[in-house]
Amino acid sequence: MTDAPVDLPAPTAAPRPAQRPSERTFHGDTFVDPYAWLLDADDAETLPHLRAENAWTEVATAGQAPLRDAVFGEIKARTQETDLSVPVRDGAWWYLTRTEEGKAYPIHCRRPDDGTTATWDPDPAAEQVVLDPNELAGEGEYLGLGVLDVSPDGNWLAYAIDREGDERHALRFRDLRDGAAPAESAETIDAVSYGFAWAADSQTCWYTLDDDAHRPDRVVRHQVGTDPSSDVEVFRDDDERFHVSVGASRSGDVVVISAGSAITSESWLLDAHQPTLDPVVVAAREQGVEYSIAHHPTGLYVTSNHGGAEDFALWRAPLDGITTGPRDSWEVVLPHRPGTRLSGVETFAGHAIVHGRTEGLTAIWLLDPGTGATTRFATDDAVGTISPGANPTFTSTTYRFSYQSMTTPPSVLEQDVATGDRTVLKQLAVLGDFDPGRYASAREWATAADGTQIPISLVWRPDAVPAQGPAPCLLYGYGAYEMSMDPWFSIARLSLLDRGVVFAIAHVRGGGELGRHWYEDGKFGAKHHSFSDFAASAQHLVDTGRTAPSVLAARGGSAGGLLMGAVANLAPELFRAVVAEVPFVDPLTTMLDPSLPLTVIEWEEWGDPLHTEEAYGWMKAYAPYENVAPATAVRYPAILATAGLNDPRVGFHEPAKWVARLRDQGHDALFKVELGAGHGGPTGRYDAWKDEAFVLAWVLAELGLA
């Protein structure tokens, strides 16, 4: 948190920004917004107000400082600060990251492949440092790493740094051939977005740039060592709904340009061996049709929902160089199976790996390209998460993946694709007296208002919760973009569990946990299902005796912050406290302004209230900022909202306005603003731990556990 200026006295009351009423009229409806001016970061009163909010939050939570320090100490004590990742072989090198006690960022290193295994004694002197972000970041300063990519020959590193949190990066190139003192190429390319790819010559590369609305819309080709002013634009998408990215295939033969909106996608291929050739489209975009691709010399593997495959199917498209045949020439490899959602495929020389989900859980299948037979990777826990690992080598005969549950720390495993033999390469170390056997995890189902069964994942420490009566509980949710909140392990969460708090995830509609229909039934006019599902999940936990409203807190961020704001309006009586991180709580105002970042592409997620009265009505009905009830009518939970000044995804003004309106209506709300960060908050691990300790201490205090 950025403190108030030292020459100002500590505040004695929450700040109240000036009201400057501004009318907004659409579709015959007029809304008077007293705080619209907070959108302007350059307004003379905006930054002082944000500083005043931070100062008041510091004063209001001063009594929690010992608890914050204790939680931070617990996170730090349980974390193995000096550690190594599992090395990954790529070309002639083994790559790994190293963390060191006292350093905020992981150090990216490599060793030559000498024919031995990936296991060796830790020896920093034997490794070449590819990039050490600790040398680039100042004390406590924001440092985001948007690109980190070594050329195919191993000689050049491309890396891109964001120092503001606005996700616009400065791209640079480092010559790694002199391992002791790598030299920087002279050029810097500013305002680069995410996405990068090398050509096979290890000199040519492609990167992406944004338009004025912060939308990545261009792919540009560059030659290392040349003036960026001579770079060549190779692709541009003028449709404001589409975001553009670029990445290399595992085979190394092609580079893929992807253009996607919320519900439509299109891919183009670049020849990695002839980088000056123009890109070739795989299949022209069709509204509502999505697909992703994986290159193999014998054909292009395509995961797509075309032809009515709601949960997607897998095809193989004929390939002539970088030109594919039309959709009607594609061969079905895995047909559509309702309820089994295919999310992508990875191709290797002799096999393929399919990712997806079934029965509400993540899944990985080994695919025999010749027969089409699949074998699902086995997992242990009833409620766990399996996910792809680092597998850069096309000719590999093993596959790395990760596994974790709410009681099992993340593990890196490797499986022989021929024999099925499996090796655990590493499990996250949790120091101290951690014993996974002390914790229990389960999946339960809540019944929504329309009868739909909503899955809830829970974890708790049985010997810490009350033997009789309700336990304190923190319920987490998201529910948008078909993103699934799959069960995950958290060292920081142990500080809650060991104090007797039950942690639960409500897998509400709008996410992707139960397939595409789960997403579709929580967007547009059905968005209210996300909110009522979360309330139903809370009610289930109360009705089953696990918790009670007096000791139940809720937490969510970004679109999950919208969930928090909407639930505070919908069912405030169910919660004691709500944490809304970078919350999208003024969605209607934002979706009415196409000049703001993300608005146009977001119309395919939330609806277009600018041009459609029906969509305006949907959003008007649930927008948290516009639906705050007065304290004379209802008691709201205590609310903690957070923001990042440079956030390009959810503007800081949204929670700033919401908190001001909550206070106007007589409710208790605190606001914490990172003045030098963006959507993800602090980047250094110690600052991130302090940020998490702040939130957890506030929750514990509100639940009576301070």
Residue 679 falls in the annotated catalytic set:
yes
Tell me how far apart the terminal alpha carbons of the chain are, to the nearest angstrom.
21
Per annotation, catalytic residue among 521, 647, 687, 691:
647
For residue 685, give the 3-state DSSP assignment.
Answer: helix
> Could you give the CA distance from residue 104 to residue 101 in angstroms, rounded to a whole number?
8
For residue 636, give the 3-state DSSP assignment.
Answer: coil
Q: At what angle do helices 559-570 and 528-543 cross, to 10 degrees?
A: 60
Residue 647 falls in the annotated catalytic set:
yes
> Could you give the CA distance from residue 164 to residue 410 in angstroms, rounded to a whole number?
30
User: Which one, of 240, 290, 283, 288, lies nearest residue 265 by Cα?
Assistant: 290
Number of H helices, E strands in the chain: 12, 41
Count of CA atoms in the C-beta half-sphere (13 A) of 195: 24
Residue pair 628/639 in contact (Cβ under 8 Å)? The answer is no
Other C-beta atoms within 10 Å of 684: how many? 19
Q: What secondary structure does DSSP assign to 252-309, as a single string?
A: SSEEEEEEE-SS-EEEEEEETTSTTSPPEESS---TT--EEEEEETTEEEEEE-GGG-
- 327: which 2 tokens? 């959709």
Q: What secondary structure does DSSP assign to 544-573, as a single string?
A: TTS--GGGEEEEEETHHHHHHHHHHHH-GG
Residue pair 576/637 in contact (Cβ under 8 Å)? The answer is yes
Per annotation, catalytic residue among 558, 586, 608, 691:
558
For residue 603, give the 3-state DSSP assignment.
Answer: helix
- 359: which 2 tokens? 């029965």
Per annotation, catalytic residue among 214, 222, 507, 679:
679
> Could you give the CA distance from residue 198 to residue 280 in angstroms, rounded to a whole number?
17
Residue pair 480/510 in contact (Cβ under 8 Å)? The answer is yes
Active site residues: 558, 647, 679
